[in-house]
């Protein structure tokens, strides 16, 4: 059998995308990066074209990043990949599985239905209900339904004046008519990324805050660090990722005074945190996994 042709759906020039393409090239001699902004779906011919290449003729596609920022349009790009799947291309992770994670509410409801501990959460379009939730929580993080790395999030406090609190709610709903808000938890300055490949646990890294920011993201100055979880934490993350059936993911876990909670299961997972914080070269592991699937 000839070496498989597996493309990488991602963002050209970005470290994770390029690293994954490098790993595939080293193993198969084939290197191909696809920016979904340049893809054209022709349903008449059942073809998915990218710069003259029909992606439906590849053996596999690894989705490292579907777009630079999440939005409802991200779902449209994933729907296009379903055509490639129907034509026999193996997509990692499956398009429908990723779709269930890109929308924050879909991810949250799946986790809640599975009995996974999460921060107290309220979802509403009603301003009065949001106002009462902030008062009940004391402090709440308002999150867009489509975002990554804390983009578009804000914190509203119950201690502010009622007028300013209502103004903050109104400002948030200009771009987010459906409000998703969670009680702001005491994270003790860090949270965890717990890494899984094909449902198997690989390792854990911490994101440690280096500032007074309420979140620990690298964009807000956080740093990656090693972390050794307990068996109970590994079991929690294992149960959290299981309903989604992803080929690769990280589970975002936080340790609070009331016990561990899960924030989300990532649609794509972070390569850099795994490398810098846990010493895991997951690009190579992921490439090996995809190659074994398309050649079996």
DSSP conformation letters of 96-147: HHHHHHHSHHHHHHHHHHTT-----EEEES-HHHHHHHHHHHSEEEEE-SS-
Q: State the CB neighbour count (10 A cutoff) for residue 43.
A: 9
Tell me what the pLDDT averaged over the chain comes to. 94
**Comparing 15-29, 99-113, 202-216, which segment has the lowest mean pLDDT?**
202-216
Integer-rounded Cα radius of gyration of the chain:
20
Contacts of 71 (CB under 8 A, 6+ apart): 146
Tell which wins on pLDDT, 289 or 189. 289
Structure tokens at 14: 């970005």
Per the omega criterion (within 30 degrees of 0), is the bond before 293 cis?
Answer: no
Predicted local distance difference test score (pLDDT) of residue 151: 86
Instruction: Please state, in angstroms and rounded to a whole number, the distance separating the CA atoms of residues 159 and 265.
Output: 31
- Third-level CATH fold of 6-101+285-295: Rossmann fold (3.40.50)
Determine what percent of the chain is predicted with pLDDT higher than 70: 96
Mean pLDDT value across residues 167-185? 97
In three-state secondary structure terms, 183 is strand
pLDDT at 189: 85
Assigned token pair, 234: 């590994």
Q: Band the pLDDT of 128: cuts 50, 70, 90.
A: very high
CATH 1.10.3470 corresponds to the domain 121-183: no
Spell out the domain ranges in the chain: 6-101+285-295, 121-183, 186-279
Collect all residues with Cβ–Cβ distance below 8 Å to 184 and sequence separation of at least 6: 137, 138, 139, 140, 141, 155, 214
Give the model's pLDDT for residue 18.
Answer: 97
Q: Which is more confidently placed, 46 or 150?
A: 46
Q: Which of 279, 214, 281, 282 is nearest to 247 (CA)?
A: 282
Specify the fold of 186-279.
Answer: D-amino Acid Aminotransferase; Chain A, domain 1 (3.30.470)
Angle at 218 between CA 179 and CA 199, to 5 degrees: 75
């Amino acid at each position: 059998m000839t070496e498989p042709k597996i493309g990488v759906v991602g963002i050209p020039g970005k470290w994770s995308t390029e690293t994954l393409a490098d790993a595939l090239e080293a193993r198969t001699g084939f290197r191909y990066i696809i920016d979904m902004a340049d893809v054209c779906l022709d349903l008449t011919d059942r073809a998915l074209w990218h710069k003259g290449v029909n992606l439906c003729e590849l053996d596999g596609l690894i989705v490292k990043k579907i777009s630079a920022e999440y939005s409802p349009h991200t779902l449209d790009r994933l729907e296009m990949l379903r055509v490639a799947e129907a034509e026999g291309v193996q997509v990692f992770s499956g398009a429908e599985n990723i779709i269930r994670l890109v929308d924050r509410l879909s991810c949250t409801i799946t986790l809640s239905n599975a009995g996974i501990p999460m921060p107290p959460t309220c979802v509403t379009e009603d301003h009065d209900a949001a106002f009462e939730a902030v008062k009940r929580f004391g402090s709440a993080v308002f999150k867009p339904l489509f975002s990554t790395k804390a983009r578009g999030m804000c914190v509203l406090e119950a201690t502010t004046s009622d007028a300013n609190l209502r103004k903050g709610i109104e400002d948030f709903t200009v771009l987010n008519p459906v409000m998703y808000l969670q009680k702001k938890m005491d994270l003790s300055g860090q949270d965890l990324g717990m890494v899984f490949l094909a449902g198997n646990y690989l390792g854990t890294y911490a994101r440690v805050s280096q500032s007074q920011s309420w979140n620990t993201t690298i964009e807000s100055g956080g740093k990656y660090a090693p972390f050794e979880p307990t068996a109970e934490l590994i079991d929690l993350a294992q149960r959290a990722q299981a309903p989604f059936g992803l080929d690769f993911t990280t589970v975002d876990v936080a340790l609070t005074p009331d016990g561990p909670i899960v924030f989300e299961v990532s649609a794509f997972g972070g390569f850099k945190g795994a490398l810098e914080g846990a010493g895991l070269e997951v690009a190579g592991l992921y490439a090996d996994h995809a190659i074994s699937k398309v050649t079996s």
